[in-house]
Structure 1
Amino acid sequence: KIGANRGAVSLGLRSSTSGPLPPGQSRSLYLVAPRPSQVPSSAAAGDTLVGSIHYGRSNPARHGAGRRPGGFRLSLVVPATTVKTKPLSSSPAGDLASEERKFLIDRLKRIPFETRRKEFDALANKLLATTPNLRPVLVTRLERLDHVDHRKKRLGDVVAAADAVIATVDTDKLAATLGRRGGRSADKGVLVDALYRKGRALAYMELPEVIAAHPIADKAAHAKAFDSNFKELGRWVDTTENTYVLLHIRHERRRGRPAMALKWLTKYYPGTPANFWYVKKRRDLYEKLGWSHCHEYERRWLLVRFPKVYEAF
């Protein structure tokens, strides 16, 4: 690239370098070095690139070449590439104990719970020994214990794990900050999830197949625990919402109000795809109400919609 002068080039101004040059006069030119992207990739720093430049224009109407044959020799030494180095961080080094704790928590979440339970428990206990009530560990343990395929075998452990998570939330401070039914926060999400899981586990303990294997020792204390937990959940969320309605239905059934339970179930029943638990609950409620024809209808639909759950063999 050629410019009329260095100043014009540095300012990015267009300047004309062409035009007639009378005999005896001179004109200065400024040659702009190529950008790094224009230098051949095979050229290394220190290499010399050679070429030529012409200062005249061929004109067939005139005698002679009009410019020097072969032009004037031009050379360029490839400069060294400037490597931008990232400045060293001036922030202090992180807390090694905190970094190690984060690493171990991440490792804990990756351990298969059912097949490597001892390893999971050992690491969880180690973390809790150094940092009691470490919420990520307690939440992870609750989620693993409350797995849909295995929760009925360890409902007592689920309740205990939920209580441990609930204890990490300062409910008075949370209520003062957000209000019980208003706003969202990580603390509220953890609290509500633990309350719901605990309530579901307490409800499952009352199922006939669970009672057959694990009878409830103190039914009055158990009923009080369920009612107290459900009441606390109701302080934070509307238990008739879709997320919590199954527990609300259980609450109505325990109060001897199957018709009210059916009312709330029917509100969310026509879903797509069909929800197995909703169909099953409605079948059971029809039986509780003594509506045998509706019960039989729903029982057949349950077999049609969810054949895998009720395979003969």
Structure 2
Amino acid sequence: RDLKVARLAKLQGDKKAEDFDRLAEEILENTPNHLPVLVEQLKRLDSEANRKKNLDQLIAAAETVIAQIDTETLAKHYGVKLNPDDDDAKSERANLDKKLNILTDALYRKGRALGYLDTQLRESENAESDNSKKQLEEIDKQFEANFAELQKWAETTDDKFVLLHIRRENRHDRIASALKLLNQKISRSPHDKKLLKKRIRLLGELNWGEWKAHEETWQIRRFPSKYQPF
């Protein structure tokens, strides 16, 4: 079974979708809700190329993963200081650390997907319809509940989760706070084009036109569409 799961991780591309689904179904048929398979299914839906195309499925996949984690056991375990001389306790901690990482990763992916879904609805032609407004209200509730759950288990300003924290600050119109966190993130990843584009957008939302224009100019210099020949 472990070998089959390892093979799943190598079948993430679109061209291998049928093979992935067939193998995942085979494993889950024999071992329902096998967590490593559910995690691979989530990662596949949340690939950079596909995540915005399958947001509802992605959210459902994240919820399936989250549901498999016994959070009561996690809470009890991490509420007690680990005895460094207890090998059994250390082994249990290592196992639960993996589950904690899976939980926080799934919560992060779900939150990001909810944020994208919110943006898609707001930018749609029917954004002002009663149905869209109800959907946006529901998404907002889900986003906040999911973020609160993530905060129970992780520091959301950590590098792994900070983009979701920034999104939440932005959603609550704390744009200056979002920009501060984003600048810190950029200082750690100074050549990330997507982060720099986010900064331009936030500067625009703050109506800091001069700074926005400055960043746009530097963006062209950093990432020119064509380079001068030597």
Structure with greater proportional strand content: 1
Shift of 1:278: 2.3
Pairing 1:297–2:214 present: yes
Q: Cα RMSD between the aligned structures?
A: 2.5
Shift of 1:211: 4.5
Q: Which structure's CA Rg is the greater one?
A: 1
Structure with greater proportional helix content: 2
How many residue pairs end up in the alignment? 207
Who is 2:15 aligned against? 115
Who is 2:89 aligned against? none
Gaps of 5+ in 1: 1-100, 309-313
Pairing 1:160–2:77 present: no
What is the identity, as a one-letter code, of the residue corresponding to 1:228?
A: A
CA contact (8 A) 1:162 1:198 kept: yes
Find the partner of 2:144 among 227, 238, 243.
227
Gaps of 5+ in 2: 83-92, 226-230
Shift of 1:209: 8.5
What is the identity, as a one-letter code, of the residue corresponding to 1:142?
A: L
CA contact (8 A) 2:69 2:103 kept: yes
Shift of 1:212: 3.1
Who is 1:14 aligned against? none
Who is 2:106 aligned against? 194
Who is 2:124 aligned against? 212
Shift of 1:284: 0.8
What is the identity, as a one-letter code, of the residue corresponding to 2:26?
A: K
Q: Deviations over 1:3-30 (max 9, x none)?
A: xxxxxxxxxxxxxxxxxxxxxxxxxxxx
Q: Secondary structure at the match of 1:267?
A: helix
Could you say if the C-alpha distance between residues 230 and 301 of structure 1 is closer, same or farther in structure 2, counting changes exceeding 3 Å? same
Shift of 1:252: 0.6
Who is 2:32 aligned against? 132
Pairing 1:279–2:196 present: yes
TM-score w.r.t. length of structure 2: 0.81
Find the partner of 2:43 among 122, 143, 156.
143
Shift of 1:155: 1.4
CA contact (8 A) 1:205 1:211 kept: no
Q: C-alpha distance in 2, partners of 1:160/1:235?
A: 21
Shift of 1:141: 0.9
What is the identity, as a one-letter code, of the residue corresponding to 1:187?
A: K
Percent identity of the aligned residues? 39
